[in-house]
Amino acid sequence: MVTPIPKPGVLDITPYVGGRASVGGVADPIKLSSNESALGPSPLALAAYEGAAKDVAVYPEGSASILREAIGETYGLDAARIVCGNGSDELLTMLANAYLRPGDEALFGEHAFLVYRIATLANSAVPIAVPEKNLRVDVDAMLAHVTPKTKLVYLANPNNPTGSYLPHDEVRRLHAGLPPHALLVIDAAYAEFVRRNDYEPGIEMVANFPNVVMTRTFSKVYGLAGLRIGWAYCPAAVADVLNRVRGPFNVSIPAQRAAAAALKDREHIQRSVEHNAHWRDWLTEAIRATGLRVDDSVGNFVLIHFPQTKGRTATDADRFLCERGLILRAVGNYGLPDCLRLTVGREDANRKVAAALAEFMRRP
């Protein structure tokens, strides 16, 4: 039987699988697998979402002007250069759809977000996972892999699941080594959590260079992951391209209004950032005290390394934690089979997972 054949690359894609939300036989588990906000959304965002219910029979304004104008006002940006999407995933994919031809190459770190590879293969292009140094993007290695076929360079900064980041000078050095035809895409999904003087999410670079795009999301610090809202700040020419290829009405009215309201609640954002900084550091030290390696992180998660000793592996730990209703994220599909990623949660969840890991490591 003859069946339709997808274009080259599609059948090489391993479907994306999100963090688990449940485990068999455990009622009310604690989900720490998806880097969701520990404190949830702002009350202002929830009120705006509920208030939009009366308008759900009407199409949203096609360019997401409500949200673009709110973002522009918040960050001092030209709203015409902002493109909104159904999560930043959609924007990362739209960039691949618009700029990759069959045989082109897209570069990214070996432990980077899986969507980069998926979007590249879906366009019959070649994904190039560049080796990292100490779980951090290696600028020299990235530049060594640049060829005339390089059209996109995805940089997750900070990176998930490693929690590492590149300082601004290194990002500039990476960009300076790229040819003009290559587009640097800075995925700054976790930018709001970073408290480092040498970090800049990419806004300044987009303002100064025609081949840099920055993407952001409302899924993390704003606690709106279920509404799927992201945005990109682009050079005017790139914004024009994305507006030609994006689907019409791609951000719903409730999502736009909730996100716009979330931007205004600075107190809630600050509480979320402070909560994360405190408990991320607490978890890091508490888990290190068990004898496990935990990498420094600037995101709202930490990466825990487990030994390959029988009974102490990441798989063993995952099973042990799930039996106690604690769900972490296995990251073998990111090339880290000996690790689990732990999202920073509320205080009770953080204390429970630290105690469970201590118990796990004390077992004979």
Q: Has residue 13 got a pLDDT over 80?
A: yes
Instruction: Report if residue 4 sits inside a domain.
Output: no
287 & 223 share domain: no
The percentage of residues in the chain with a pLDDT greater than 70, rounded to a whole number, is: 100
Q: What is the pTM of this model?
A: 0.96
142 & 103 share domain: yes
238 & 280 share domain: no
Q: How far is CA 310 from CA 315, 316, 364, in A?
A: 10, 8, 11
Instruction: Report if residue 313 sits inside a domain.
Output: yes
CATH number at residue 121: 3.40.640.10
180 & 319 share domain: no
The DSSP bridge partners found for residue 83 are 232
242 & 152 share domain: yes
Instruction: Report if residue 201 sits inside a domain.
Output: yes
Contact assessment for residue 338 and residue 306, using Cβ atoms and an 8 Å cutoff: yes
- Write the DSSP assignment of 25-75 as a string of letters: T-SS-EE-SS---SS-S-HHHHHHHHHGGGGTTSPPPTT-HHHHHHHHHHH
205 & 329 share domain: no
Instruction: Report if residue 74 sits inside a domain.
Output: yes
Q: Nearest 5 degrees, angle CA 181-CA 136-CA 219?
A: 80
Domain end call among 265, 298, 313: 265
Instruction: Report if residue 37 sits inside a domain.
Output: no
58 & 104 share domain: yes
Q: Which tens digit of pLDDT belongs to each residue from 62-92?
A: 999 999 999 999 999 999 999 999 999 999 9
Q: Has residue 278 got a pLDDT over 80?
A: yes
191 & 322 share domain: no
CATH number at residue 277: 3.90.1150.10
Q: Which tens digit of pLDDT belongs to each residue from 307-327?
A: 999 999 999 999 999 999 999
Instruction: Report if residue 3 sits inside a domain.
Output: no
230 & 278 share domain: no
Number of domains in the chain: 2
**Which residues have CB under 8 Å from 68's CB, separation 6+?**
79, 82, 83, 84, 231
Residue-level pLDDT at 24 = 76
Instruction: Report if residue 155 sits inside a domain.
Output: yes
Helices 253-264 and 266-288 pack at an angle, to 10 degrees, of: 80
| Residue 334: domain span | 10-31+267-362
The one-letter amino acid at 253: I
pLDDT-derived band at 193, boundaries 50, 70, 90: very high
290 & 251 share domain: no
257 & 303 share domain: no
Instruction: Report if residue 14 sits inside a domain.
Output: yes
176 & 292 share domain: no
Domain end call among 265, 292, 323: 265
